[in-house]
């Protein structure tokens, strides 16, 4: 019979995980990586439940590409694939190219889609990207050069939006979806958004945009984002007639995404809790509203989870009876963003918080994806 130490080590290596990542993935307590190390070194034995949790950790890719799907898409600034997932869920879209430079995000992407994204998009020749029908991108927001006068394509050079624009110009997909923070509209006194819109229009796209909140699509989080959709006028009839989906605005409740029996490692320390309270008092005295925010199971929704959540969790703290409040767990963070339960989290808690904080609300993306696919079904020129 194979030793537990060998089974654990072999499983971990197949998953391409560090001891810390495996410990966090199966929910071990703080310093769980030391426990995994002791198991592998045969200094102690895991319980039957602990061994089962490791051996049962999924190795099969949950979101296999749909090779016979009607539409092809590319996934730029892909992160962990939240936007891709929303389109995958339509059953009509296959992914043919993805780009993401962060190695930890690449690991999560590979675990869930079975593909390694290409690296830095700025180093990839647009002519080497496969033909596609839909381009999706959650590009970072940057100010454009004040030296520019044309308010168009050339003014975007040196920004990451330029890489979206040059690919649209070269490959001319029928449609695109861009996602960004709601402040994109007012960024750099509105100039950034003006350049983006002018650029997209100059590339022969009919462009539509709207703001949506995650909670209006069923995720209990007050995350507001701008969504920009465009249709190539040469390839899509009645391109000006696209309409975004109506937000269903279901009743949401934080308790619906909370786990039972959460490990104490997510409870914040006395020192951190005291610091949160002190800063909130100081900010209140100065007339500022910044500080921690508490939520409980009956709260309708939380604040927006951010990529810095791993630092102190101040924007979303969950109340606990007779204890300091706690951070949400990585699985709860995934649920806040509308990721399905079978989405694999193969990285440490710290990386998971960064990834979900940087990601998209999958429920919102899926609704928009359905609208885009339906519009193409009706209006794509043959």
Q: Answer yes or no: are the C-beta atoms of 23 and 8 closer than 8 Å.
A: no
| Apex 40 CA angle, 39 and 43, nearest 5 | 50
Residue 53's Cβ-count burial label (10 Å; 0-12, 13-18, 19+) is middle
Query: Residue 357 and residue 354: Cα distance in Å, rounded?
Result: 5
Other CB atoms within 10 A of residue 190 CB? 11
List the catalytic residue out of 4, 93, 141, 362. 141
Question: Minimal CA–CA distance to 272: which of 329, 320, 314?
Answer: 314
Query: Residue 118 and residue 93: Cα distance in Å, rounded?
Result: 19
Residue 361 appears among annotated catalytic residues:
no
Helix/strand/coil for 287: coil
What are the start-end ranges of the E strands in the chain? 71-76, 93-98, 134-137, 175-181, 205-213, 224-232, 294-295, 317-318
Query: Residue 156 and residue 9: Cα distance in Å, rounded?
Result: 48
Question: Minimal CA–CA distance to 58: which of 7, 111, 3?
Answer: 111
Q: Answer yes or no: are the C-beta atoms of 205 and 372 closer than 8 Å.
A: no
In SS3 terms, 231-284 reads as: EECCCECCHHHCCCCCCCCCCCCHHHHCCCCCCHHHECCHHHHHHHHHHHHHHH
Question: Among all residues, which ones are annotated catalytic?
Answer: 141
């Amino acid at each position: 019979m194979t030793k537990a130490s060998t089974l654990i080590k072999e499983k971990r290596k197949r998953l391409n995980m560090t001891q810390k990542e495996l410990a966090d993935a199966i929910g071990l307590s703080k310093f769980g990586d030391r426990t995994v190390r002791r198991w592998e070194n045969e200094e102690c034995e895991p319980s039957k439940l602990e061994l089962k949790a490791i051996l049962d950790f999924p190795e099969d890719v949950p979101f296999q590409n749909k090779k016979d799907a009607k539409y092809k898409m590319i996934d730029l600034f892909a992160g962990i694939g939240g936007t891709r997932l929303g389109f995958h869920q339509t059953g009509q879209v296959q992914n043919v190219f993805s780009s993401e430079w962060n190695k930890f995000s690449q690991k999560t992407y590979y675990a869930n889609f079975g593909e390694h994204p290409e690296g830095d998009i700025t180093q990839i020749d647009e002519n080497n990207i496969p033909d596609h029908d839909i381009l999706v991108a959650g590009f970072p927001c940057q100010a454009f050069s004040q030296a520019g006068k044309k308010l168009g394509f050339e003014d975007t050079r040196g920004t990451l939006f330029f890489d979206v624009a040059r690919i649209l110009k070269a490959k001319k997909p029928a449609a695109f979806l861009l996602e960004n923070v709601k402040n994109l509209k007012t960024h750099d006194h509105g100039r950034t958004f003006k350049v983006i819109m002018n650029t997209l229009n100059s590339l022969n796209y009919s462009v539509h945009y709207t703001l949506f909140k995650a909670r209006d699509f069923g995720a209990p989080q007050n995350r507001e984002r701008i969504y920009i959709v465009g249709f190539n006028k040469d390839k899509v009839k009645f391109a000006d007639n696209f309409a975004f989906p109506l937000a269903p605005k279901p009743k949401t409740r934080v308790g619906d995404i909370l786990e039972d029996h959460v490990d104490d490692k997510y409870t914040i320390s006395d020192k951190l809790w005291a610091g949160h309270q002190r800063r909130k008092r100081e900010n209140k005295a100065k007339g500022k509203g910044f500080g921690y925010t508490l939520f409980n199971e009956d709260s309708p929704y939380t604040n927006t989870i951010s990529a810095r959540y791993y630092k102190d969790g101040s924007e979303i703290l969950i109340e606990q009876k007779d204890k300091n409040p706690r951070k949400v767990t990585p699985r709860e963070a995934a649920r806040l963003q509308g990721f399905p339960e079978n989405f694999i989290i193969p990285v440490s808690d710290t990386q998971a918080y960064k990834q979900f904080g940087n990601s998209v609300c999958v429920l919102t993306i899926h609704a928009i994806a359905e609208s885009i696919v339906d519009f193409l079904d009706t209006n794509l020129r043959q």
